[in-house]
Amino acid sequence: QVQLVESGGGLVQAAGSLRLSCAASGRSGSIGAMAWFRQATGKDREFVASISMEISSTRYADSVKGRFTISRDNAKNTVYLQMSSLKPEDTAVYSCAARQGPGVTSVSSLYNYWGQGTQVTVSS
């Protein structure tokens, strides 16, 4: 089993920045890729970004390209999401996910493990 714990959410003004962290524990050595998803109130969950834990590969949703950066620290079993130029429409619960496969897929059903989520609120 793998446990994921997110941190770093909060309230920020539009155009501001925030960094989310996701720490993996348990059988973290089995993780091939990790990702961030988000879900705004009343909306479906959507893919934000993903990263391979083995090779240099990332994927981003079009809505966050150029504003968000996903990175990892394998020694700490931690993935980060640096969010800049935040907009009110970025407001959502952000959840970290991990999968045993290596691909940086955006398909949520292919992720085996999920964190509890952290709230990000962007005020206008």
- The Cα–Cα gap between 101 and 24 comes to 16
pLDDT digits (tens, 9 = 90+) for 97-124: 999 988 999 999 999 999 999 999 999 9
- C-alpha radius of gyration, the chain, whole number: 13
For 36, the token pair is 């961030």
| Chain-centroid distance, C-alpha 37 | 6
CA distance 117 to 38: 8
- The distance from CA 70 to its chain's CA centroid, rounded to whole angstroms, is 7
How confident is the model over 79-99, as a mean pLDDT?
98
Give me the sheet containing 78-83, strands edge to edge: 2-7, 18-26, 78-83, 68-73
Q: Report the pLDDT value the prediction gives residue 28, as an integer from 0 to 100.
A: 73
3-state class (DSSP) for residue 16: coil
User: Which amino acid makes up residue 6?
Assistant: E
pLDDT at 114: 97
